Structure 1
């Protein structure tokens, strides 16, 4: 309801340039990258419940802050805090779900979780546009902050009545030792490199794409809102059949298919000059998203030791470095090479296949050994 419109909010309300918008949005990705591994480590050490509850209420305050500040520098700070909250909340909640899910059902878990997120993504942009048309542009931020606070209260009640099933790591491992373990896992590093390139490309979705559309067609804000809804609706319609198909093929094949659709979607965005082509490009882009995104986390979970699930899922947040670089690179390309911006992004996306293939080769070699 709010984050997809943040670039437009900064552009229209604060008069920020594409580069400043890229830095503001990229700050969230940078701190999600830095904070992820700490959040995962603390989740394994202190428990899921403490990290989840502590983070959600701070996150609520961040959105209230978005509604009340009028300085770009403060927006950068809040955007960074937003990324930090996400980097703690994501691995802790994913680890909690893994604790309650049988091994053979975990691949399906990530697909179901992704579908649940996109149910909200259908409703959110519609509500955002409707609220923006009726009232102040800050109201969606205030409502989001209130919803996060309410969610926190629900979690306090729900987790209080749930017996934790976390597998505790009994080794008194320090943060430095954890960095050494994670840093020496070549498979993980290759998966992270591939994920960084995918995130670099995907970050254009809510950073340069709304600006590109605004510069290319009339009524760009309305078209972008329609594209957000198109994205979510396609996910809801195709997630189940694609999920069923993906379970019959390897995670790598699913990822490669997704990455190729991603790249094709970006090429179509660059060629589009009309609403219908933009919508078609979004359908292609979204099919790539459905194939690729659930498998990215599934592959991380598969290589993670049982006592370090949250740590590895937290380390997977390092792929958000691509999301930090992406908006800045995209903003620069939009200024200097507007006609070729998404051709360049498509090439970066396709390069990620090399890292994923090498990671799978490493895993297969170790399994055979």
Structure 2
């Protein structure tokens, strides 16, 4: 991986650093959001979940327009603006006197990070030949997982010093990134052609709906994200229902998160760089099969080693599917619309938001193990949509 990084042009390394650091800034606040809302605004846990989950849902829905901005504005301008808005959003979170402005600022922070992420993907495609894009997506995903694994731990340390410090540090990181990218970023990257007026967002959105492959792949992404987008949430729900000891639930959930993070960090680059665009469908089906095997493992696991083994298999599916999705969108996206195509792919986060809600409802009316068979059904439906999306013709 280090050899690959050294071989990339400086703008690619800067984009990787920017997305990694901005993800770290968001991850720092993760462990304290629920506590902060409960302690400082007096919200019930159900209201907190609705606010935090709703912010992610709204930001994901707006990411399609964010992708349109990537296609119509200069990459440099957009990244600088969004990193500064990210910083401003965390200042607003600290200053919010009630839940509504807090919600608006949280949506802004999530959306700003998402737009930077889409701009980086479009930048990779503009700066690198096709043969190197799968590898850089694998590196980016590995870095993101390192950020999500280490950011919350840093956040916990900051909370010990001052309960406002995580938000202040996140704001300062956004500000520093914006100022650094203003000086160091590639200014001519992804500038719209001056002689071709950009299509309006409504016109672009209608065009996206006519792309059968994109629609099928987006639906497949939503269904698969139900399964892997927030697996820790629905696994914790399942364990709470089936295990009477809260300490045991917390311990096992920690083991599973660690297993997932270590597996991704250790194997993502090794596997992701081998995924070839000429064989995307076999790779995707292998990823779907690993999801099914992992879910079956969860349904029968009765010991810590069994749970961790099932999580390892499940994570291998995640490692394959995520870069394969990136590569498929890269394959079908027209050059002037890469941003909005990646924005459409980001709609899969809607599935990540739906997963815990659907599983929470299902646990209320069926046998606990049955939820895993519902999730397997979602994987099978996702595989069907992926298959339809990879077929040629309209």
The TM-score by the shorter chain falls in which range?
0.7 to 0.9
Equivalences for residues 165-314 of structure 1 within 5 A: 165-166=189-190, 168-169=192-193, 170-213=196-239, 216=243, 217-219=245-247, 220-247=249-276, 250-272=279-301, 274-314=303-343
Aligned-CA RMSD value = 3.1
Deviates more, 1:107-116 or 1:286-295: 107-116
Compared CA separation, residues 229 and 349, structure 1 to 2 (3 A) = same
Residue number in structure 2 paired with 1:353:
383
TM superposition shift of 1:304: 0.7
How far has the Cα of 1:4 moved from its partner?
Answer: 5.2
What is the CA–CA distance in structure 2 between the aligned matches of 1:100 and 1:43, rounded to whole Å? Answer: 15
2:361 is the alignment partner of 1:332: yes
What residue number does 1:149 align with?
A: 175
The structural deviation recorded for 1:249 is: 6.8
The 8 Å contact of residues 269 and 342 in structure 1, kept in 2 or not, is answered as: yes
Q: How far 1:29 sits from its partner (Å)? A: 3.5
Unaligned runs of 5+ in 2: 1-26
The separation in 2 between residues aligned to 1:86 and 1:198, in whole angstroms, is: 22
C-alpha contact (below 8 Å) 1:61/1:145 kept by paired residues: yes
**Conserved? CA contact 1:270–1:342, under 8 Å:** yes
C-alpha displacement of 1:352: 0.1
Residue matched to 1:86: 113
How much has 1:222 moved relative to structure 2? 4.9
CA contact (8 A) 2:91 2:171 kept: yes
Count of residue pairs the alignment pairs up: 360
Deviation per CA, 1:227-260, whole angstroms, max 9, x where unpaired? 3333222112112332244339711222222222
2:229 counterpart SS class? helix
What is the aligned partner in structure 2 of residue 108 from structure 1? 135
> 1:36-71 CA distances to partner (integer Å, 9 max, x unpaired)?
221111221111122211111222233455556585
Counterpart for residue 10 of structure 2? none
Residues 1:146 and 1:42: Cα distance change in structure 2 (over 3 Å): same
Report if aligned partners of 1:198, 1:349 keep a CA contact under 8 Å in 2: yes
- Structure 1 runs (4+) deviating above 6 angstroms are none
Matched residue, 2:188: 164
| Compared CA separation, residues 194 and 256, structure 1 to 2 (3 A) | same
Q: TM-score, normalised by structure 1?
A: 0.84
CA contact (8 A) 1:23 1:328 kept: no
1: CA distance, partners of 2:239 / 2:213 = 38
Query: Given that residues 266 and 342 in structure 1 are in contact (C-alpha distance below 8 angstroms), is that contact kept between their aligned partners in structure 2?
Result: yes
In 2, distance between residues paired with 1:330 and 1:11? 24
Contact 2:271 2:319 in 1 (8 A): yes
Report the CA distance shift for 1:244/1:172 in structure 2 as closer, same or farther (over 3 A). Answer: closer
Counterpart Cα distance in 1 of 2:255 and 2:162 = 21
The 1:357/1:46 distance shift into structure 2, 3 A limit, reads same
Contact 1:208 1:334 in 2 (8 A): no
| Secondary structure of residue in 2 paired with 1:197 | helix
CA contact (8 A) 1:126 1:229 kept: no
TM-score of the two chains, using structure 2 as the length reference: 0.79
Distance in 1 separating the partners of 2:239 and 2:166: 22
2:372 paired residue number: 342
The range that moved more, 187-196 or 120-129, is 120-129
Could you tell me whether the CA contact under 8 Å between 1:26 and 1:327 is conserved in 2? Answer: no
